[in-house]
Structure 1
Amino acid sequence: MVIGASSAKTTEEATDTPTDRSAAPQLRRRLGRADLRAVPEARRALRELLRHWGRPGCSEIAELLTSELVTNALIHTDRDAVLTATVSSRGLHVEVRDFAGRRPRLHAPSDDDGTHGRGLILVQSLADAWGVRAHGVGKAVWFDLGADAA
């Protein structure tokens, strides 16, 4: 089962078969367990990838959503994670894979939550599509931004 959707399209993926993005420029980073210093580094690396792609001024939404996924993987699991971002003529695909079986839950935060609990709501609101794909060990939470938005 996959959670995730957008107003533009709903995507369901139940297997571990990623789409072929091998020819496109790609960022791949291993994120150390509970190392929140990886969050600003992921933003900088993504900004650089998008700059080389020719869209240096359009990275704000991509950076925000990437930092939400990276932060979630690092604070809600006690394992490493892997960030992959791929650009193509269709847009940007970002996924953060972790090695914990617990699936993220989309919920409306209460006033008592402070600044927590809003990450997936941001992803749902701002991404063209998003979801969670199960892997043999763990899962990948991903989002897509079209070429005009990325």
Structure 2
Amino acid sequence: MEDKADGAVGQAPASQLRRRLGRADLRAVPETRRALRELLRHWGKPGRSDIAELLTSELVTNALVHTDHEAVLTATVGPAGLRVEVRDFLSRRPQPRTPNAGDSTHGRGLLLVQSLADAWGVRTHGVGKVVWFELAAGAA
């Protein structure tokens, strides 16, 4: 596991969190939330970091539950906002779905991401895909 700070030449420095998530290791979800909370301690308007934690938890959980592989989380905070990417090694693209009324714990992750993120998407990445979202620091 690694945390690092990065900066592009001529721009304000960005802070970055990078985590390798073990196959089916759901303990990584709360650990990732804590690390992200620390990264975002002084970021954005009130409530933005809570949304970021929630959405990150959903992407990490999806990657660990719906694939039989490791995943890699990268969260980058810059002047414009936050971008979180979760890369897994399964090429099947996730689809938002309507959850069952009787199932209170499954089927809501991508709907939350779709509803709360300023932008989100999926892109292929070699073997696998990256599911990502962005939050602007100043949005309410």
SS in structure 1 at match of 2:40? helix
Q: Is the aligned partner of 1:127 residue 2:110? A: no
* Greater relative CO (CA pairs within 8 A, separation 6+): 1
Rounded Cα–Cα distance in structure 2 between residues aligned with 1:27 and 1:149: 22
Structure 2-normalised TM-score?
0.85
Q: How many residues align?
A: 129
Structure 1: stretches of 5+ with no match in the other structure: 1-20
The alpha carbon displacement at 1:110 in A equals 2.0
Percent of aligned positions that are identical: 73
Structure 2: stretches of 5+ with no match in the other structure: 1-6
Rounded Cα–Cα distance in structure 1 between residues aligned with 2:90 and 2:25: 16
2:45–2:139 Cα contact (<8 Å) kept: no
Structure 1-normalised TM-score?
0.80
Q: Higher strand fraction: Structure 1 or Structure 2?
A: 2
Q: 1:33 matched to which residue of 2?
A: 23
SS in structure 2 at match of 1:116? coil
Q: 1:10 matched to which residue of 2?
A: none
Taking only aligned residues, the RMSD between alpha carbons, in angstroms, comes to: 1.8
Q: Is the aligned partner of 1:114 residue 2:117? A: no
Amino acid at match of 1:61: I
The alpha carbon displacement at 1:24 in A equals 1.3
1:50–1:56 Cα contact (<8 Å) kept: no
Q: Is the aligned partner of 1:95 residue 2:85? A: yes
1:108–1:118 Cα contact (<8 Å) kept: yes
SS in structure 1 at match of 2:62? helix
